[in-house]
Structure 1
């Protein structure tokens, strides 16, 4: 479930999004929610979408901030049908900036 404070923020919720690649980070400890997507997005072409599956609440703030810092587009978030994890979506805009 999305914490109430985050529902009121600037988070964009999606009902559907097609992904070109998926990073399954459920049950993975911090900082893997940033390190693995950073590597996976390098393999995508501009315009392709990376789906990140995570149960880590911190990712709801960290992933959008990472996208802004590195020139990628954070598309939004959805919850899986069971509500066990979040699905965050990043569209690759450009080659990774260091």
Structure 2
């Protein structure tokens, strides 16, 4: 049984984009959210997992979950601090 993923208040599609574009789009989208809301970001960049971990550590926005799907898409759940 897989753990339940967080509910996303907003989702952005960054598939096909390489670093730093998924992070820049995430930063812009987080600015539009209220504190506590969750953003789901879809990526295909193989290095995005580490990039999101570093971004969240540096900004203080909690990284709630990361999911690797079968279609080579990763979903990153970031909560606005």
* Common topology (TM > 0.5): yes
Select the structure that is richer in strand. Answer: 2
Give, in angstroms, the shift of residue 67 of structure 1: 0.8
TM-score calculated relative to the size of structure 1:
0.74
Give, in angstroms, the shift of residue 32 of structure 1: 0.5
Query: Among 19, 43, 50, which residue is 1:61 paired with?
Result: 50
Question: Which ranges of structure 2 fall in alignment gaps of 5 or more residues?
Answer: none
TM-score calculated relative to the size of structure 2:
0.88
Q: Considering only aligned residues, what root-mean-square deviation do their CA atoms show, in Å?
A: 1.6
Give, in angstroms, the shift of residue 20 of structure 1: 0.6
Based on CA coordinates, which of the two structures has the bigger radius of gyration? 1
| Residue 85 (str. 1) matches residue 73 (str. 2) | yes
Aligned equivalents of 1:74 and 1:14: distance in 2? 15
Give, in angstroms, the shift of residue 17 of structure 1: 2.1
Question: Which ranges of structure 1 fall in alignment gaps of 5 or more residues?
Answer: 1-12, 94-98
> Would the aligned equivalents of 1:22 and 1:52 in 2 still touch at CA under 8 Å?
yes
The runs of 4+ residues in structure 1 deviating greater than 3 Å are none
Aligned equivalents of 1:29 and 1:78: distance in 2? 18
Give, in angstroms, the shift of residue 91 of structure 1: 0.6
